[in-house]
Structure 1
Amino acid sequence: MSVNSEVSVPVTSTKYLIDDSASILSKIYEPDTALTCFCSPANWAKSNAAIHYVKKASDNFFQYQGVIENELFEQVKSLFSSTTHGDLLFEHIELMLLMFQELFEPKEIGLRILPCTYSLSPAFHFQNGIVKMMSTLGGSGERWVEKEFVKYHPLEKNQLAPAIKEPRECDINTLCNGDIALVKGKNWEDQEHNAVVCSSPVFDINESKLCIYIDYLN
């Protein structure tokens, strides 16, 4: 079976919007928009605070599921209380949470704050869920590919969906250190065809990054 007969994509243009104004994030509600990105480059102090924290925290992942409330902010603040310029890391995540709350008014979120020294999910894949906010501090962030450049391997026997081929380097986009982006997932109503294809940040040897993800759960 050919990939084209298995995967049906509406013939519509898909937009990936990037701007240095935070207001760009609200355009994720536009039906033809798959990704919005607030370009907010991390300064030296914030970037180095993230690197320092990751080297100290190792694989001490912070994960939370529930409402956005004061107790959550206190937990996040305490993570960085002993880190030089840790207040900058807290303020970055606090801003993400406040913007997510303002945009979606979720009853429940999933928050992950991941100190990383290697790519957790290096293969390109469709985003699941409804919508995800993401940001990386300490180095380059999530990689993503526009829909028109996504190619598939032929279906194998008993395979329900085709695997995505590794994109050409020239077709890969990368979020910058400090950028805050929203990406649609396959469960955004009537927007399955606009789910973003992405992969975790890449890492050089001895590189440390703080990866932050907020998922809309309810």
Structure 2
Amino acid sequence: MPMAAAPPLPDDLDAPPHWAEGGGIEVLPRIFEDAITLAVLRRPLSSDLLAGALAQMRAKRPLSFSWRGAPGDALRADLLATLHAPGVSGPLVEDIATLAEAMAFLFDTDSVGLRLRVLDAPMCPRFHCDNLPVRLVTTYLGPGSEWLPETAVNRDGLGAPRPDKPPIVTEDGAIRRLEAGDVALLKGSGWVGNETRGLVHRSPALEAGQPRLLMSIDPA
């Protein structure tokens, strides 16, 4: 995967950071550290990859691709058969397949569940944590997912909204956002030992005419 330099995320003042970020693939296995609930590979997107992503956004039929199985040639073939403008989408297909294979290798699984969608509205607009062990997310175009440092979360506010629930965000200006191209592993409450510390995150708000191309991968 390409390397990219990026400014470090600021540390919280009251606790060690529970996230790791960097421009090399070696940052992703840090998700196995007990203290880490977010690992982010910062990377730029090549012009060829962006061309394939833009082709998905410009098509009249919204893209919604779901797939489960062993990553490899079958995934590549299904992507090429489904994506719009397959003639320019080869680099996008290869990037998706590479990330799926990396996910399977990292979590020692034979299969993964993958979703690739063009979204024109927030999918999960309320802050929440996933009830699963881990998920890979990357946004190819549009704003990235938003997340909260643990020191800015009131977990009593999570779950279905009710009038008596407190606000989830406890610090003004605490909300962080992933950038387009970033590859992030989000640890959920289904990770053994992390039941009360799943990363709190949400989908970003989208302006009119600002769609988003999002991919997620789960170990299956």
TM-score bracket for the superposition, by shorter chain length: 0.7 to 0.9
| TM superposition score normalised by structure 1 | 0.81
Do the aligned partners of 1:54 and 1:115 also contact (CA within 8 Å) in 2?
A: yes
Residue in 1 that maps onto 2:202: 199
Q: How many residues align?
A: 203
Residue 119 of structure 1 and its aligned partner are, at CA, apart by: 1.2
| TM superposition score normalised by structure 2 | 0.81
* Highest RCO, 1 vs 2 (Cα 8 Å, sep ≥ 6): 1
Partner Cα separation in structure 2 for residue 122 and residue 163 of structure 1:
17
Runs of 4+ in 1 over 6 A off after TM superposition: none
Do the aligned partners of 1:32 and 1:194 also contact (CA within 8 Å) in 2?
A: no
Residue 138 of structure 1 and its aligned partner are, at CA, apart by: 1.3
Q: 2:211 aligns with which of 208, 212, 217?
A: 208
Give the number of the structure whose residues are more often helix, by fraction.
1
Q: Which runs of 5+ in 2 are unaligned?
A: 1-13
Residue 151 of structure 1 and its aligned partner are, at CA, apart by: 2.4
Residue in 2 that maps onto 1:110: 113
- Alignment CA distance shift 1:86-1:57 (3 Å): farther
Say whether residues 1:40 and 2:40 are aligned partners. no
> How much is the aligned-residue C-alpha RMSD, in angstroms?
2.7
Q: 1:21 aligns with which of 20, 24, 28?
A: 24
TM-superposition CA deviations, 1:47-79 (whole Å, max 9, x none): 343233123164331112233243122112333
Do the aligned partners of 1:41 and 1:176 also contact (CA within 8 Å) in 2?
A: no
State the percentage of identical aligned residues: 22
Q: Give 3-state SS (helix, strand or coil) of 2:38's partner.
A: strand
- Alignment CA distance shift 1:198-1:71 (3 Å): same
TM-superposition CA deviations, 1:136-186 (whole Å, max 9, x none): 011221111111111256699xx8xx6763566611111111110101011
Say whether residues 1:88 and 2:84 are aligned partners. no
Q: Which runs of 5+ in 1 are unaligned?
A: 1-10
Greater mean deviation of Cα atoms: 57-66 or 175-184 = 57-66
Q: Give 3-state SS (helix, strand or coil) of 1:202's partner.
A: coil
Residue in 2 that maps onto 1:145: 148
Greater mean deviation of Cα atoms: 187-196 or 168-177 = 168-177
